[in-house]
């Protein structure tokens, strides 16, 4: 199902939810939440209450297979897919099922060095390499939007490093920014007890609201959005570097090498420098204001990284 953009119709956001799993949470909640999002969007569009600069697409089909086919069967259409968001097990009543709501991030260094507050789900994931990284503003934009909904609704929102295994992976394999909205762990996962009594309509409402707000912001993104994301990414980069610095100090004190810890800080610096540069993708022509903001932000992030690496060198000698 498509709602065609009025200005850039060939550029699109794609939501995907798989239909073949027979459980209530896996994945009737993803299918149903996405359907409600589509109905709400169509209603608001029909009433001229919202505009669409780019196209918004809602896709339902077999897990991974249908998303792959959607990307591969029409190369011209695929060129215009700017973002992919997968909804999988998004309606858990966590008081019954266990686990928590998670945003599985695009590959960042937490999927190489998983430490501190970064934790894999019980599903688990392979240790990635630097060449597997996918720097992009989508991680922090989506997380920030969902955290706002979490604060409003007293709803817990967490993230996990990239693990794969759902409809976000075909997007990433096609070099399209994509991430996963889900819950894990779930003690009833892939059992015949995955039934409607384990579902929370309030959770589905929270996920659907935050996912749709995110999507509407993305399809209508412009220079102002890019500048906002540059500012957000800079702050997130500095916060992350500070956190990783302290973890590295502790690691060195317990026997890790300074070279390994410097590599971690440098990897995060590189990831965020590249993520900041991706904000340019919301404008069709080179924009001086965005370019200047990117360079200034990258410079401040690099300076902070150099400062912390210098402090790391000093602390390792004491």
Domain harbouring 279, CATH code? 1.20.58
Number of other CB atoms surrounding residue 96 within 10 Å:
13
Give the C-alpha separation, 144 to 30, whole Å: 21
**Is the separation of the CB atoms in 120 and 64 below 8 Å?**
no
Q: Same domain, yes or no, for 259 and 301?
A: yes
Asked if residue 299 and residue 186 are part of one domain, the reply reads no
Cα 17 to Cα 86: distance, rounded to the nearest angstrom: 6
Q: Please check whether residues 163 and 205 belong to one and the same domain.
A: yes
Return d(Cα 113, Cα 78) in angstroms, integer: 32
Any alpha helices (H) in the chain, and if so which ranges?
A: 28-46, 65-72, 75-79, 94-97, 138-153, 168-173, 201-219, 223-253, 258-277, 288-317
Q: Which of 120-124, 126-130, 139-143 has the lowest mean pLDDT?
A: 120-124
Tell the residue number behind the tokens 């949470």, with chain if given: 25
Q: Tell me: do 139 and 189 sit in the same domain.
A: yes
Residue 303 class from Cβ within 10 Å (0-12 exposed, 13-18 middle, 19+ buried)? exposed
Say if residue 200 is in the same domain as residue 126.
Answer: yes
Total domains in the fold of the chain = 2
Output the six-digit token pair for 163: 């693990």
Same domain, residue pair 7 and 71: yes
How many Å apart are CA 110 and CA 99, to the nearest integer?
Answer: 20
Q: Is the domain of 90 the same as that of 214?
A: yes
Q: Are residues 159 and 293 in the same domain?
A: no
Mean pLDDT of the chain: 96
Pair (44, 61) in one structural domain: yes
Specify whether 116 is located in the same domain as 247.
no
Are 200 and 65 in the same domain? yes
**261-279 pLDDT, tens digit each:** 999 999 999 999 999 999 9
Tokens encoding 292 = 């200047």
316 vs 318: CA distance, rounded Å: 6
Percent of the chain with pLDDT over 90: 97
Residue that is last in its domain, among 166, 195, 219:
219
Residue 316 reports pLDDT greater than 70: no
Residues 142 and 284 in one domain: no
- Please give the residue range of the domain that contains residue 114: 2-219
């Amino acid at each position: 199902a498509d709602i065609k953009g009025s200005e850039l119709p060939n550029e699109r956001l794609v939501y995907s939810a798989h239909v073949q799993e027979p459980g209530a949470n896996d994945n009737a909640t993803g299918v149903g939440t996405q359907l409600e999002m589509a109905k709400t969007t169509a209603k608001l569009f029909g009433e001229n209450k919202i505009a669409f600069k780019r196209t918004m697409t809602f896709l339902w089909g077999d897990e991974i297979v249908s998303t792959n086919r959607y990307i591969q069967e029409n190369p011209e259409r695929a060129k215009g897919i700017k973002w992919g968001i997968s909804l999988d097990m998004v309606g858990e009543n966590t008081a019954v099922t266990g686990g928590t709501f998670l945003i599985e991030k695009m590959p960042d260094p937490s999927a190489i060095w998983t430490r501190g507050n970064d934790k894999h789900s019980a599903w688990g994931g392979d240790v990635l390499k630097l060449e597997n990284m996918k720097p992009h503003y989508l991680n922090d934009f989506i997380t920030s939007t969902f955290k706002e909904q979490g604060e409003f609704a007293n709803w817990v929102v967490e993230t996990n490093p990239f693990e794969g295994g759902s409809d976000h992976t075909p997007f990433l394999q096609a070099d399209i920014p994509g991430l996963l909205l889900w819950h894990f762990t779930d003690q009833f996962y892939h059992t015949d007890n995955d039934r409607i009594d384990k579902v929370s309509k309030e959770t589905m409402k929270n996920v659907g609201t935050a996912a749709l707000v995110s999507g509407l912001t993305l399809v209508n993104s412009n220079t102002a959005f890019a500048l906002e994301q540059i500012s957000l990414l800079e702050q997130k980069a500095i916060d992350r570097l500070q956190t990783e610095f302290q973890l590295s100090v502790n690691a060195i004190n317990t026997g890790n090498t300074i070279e390994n810890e410097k590599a971690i800080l440098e990897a995060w610096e590189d990831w965020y420098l590249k993520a900041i540069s991706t904000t340019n993708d919301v404008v069709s022509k080179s924009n001086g204001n965005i370019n200047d903001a990117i360079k200034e932000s990258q410079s401040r992030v690099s300076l902070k990284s150099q400062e912390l690496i210098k402090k790391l060198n000093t602390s390792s000698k004491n």
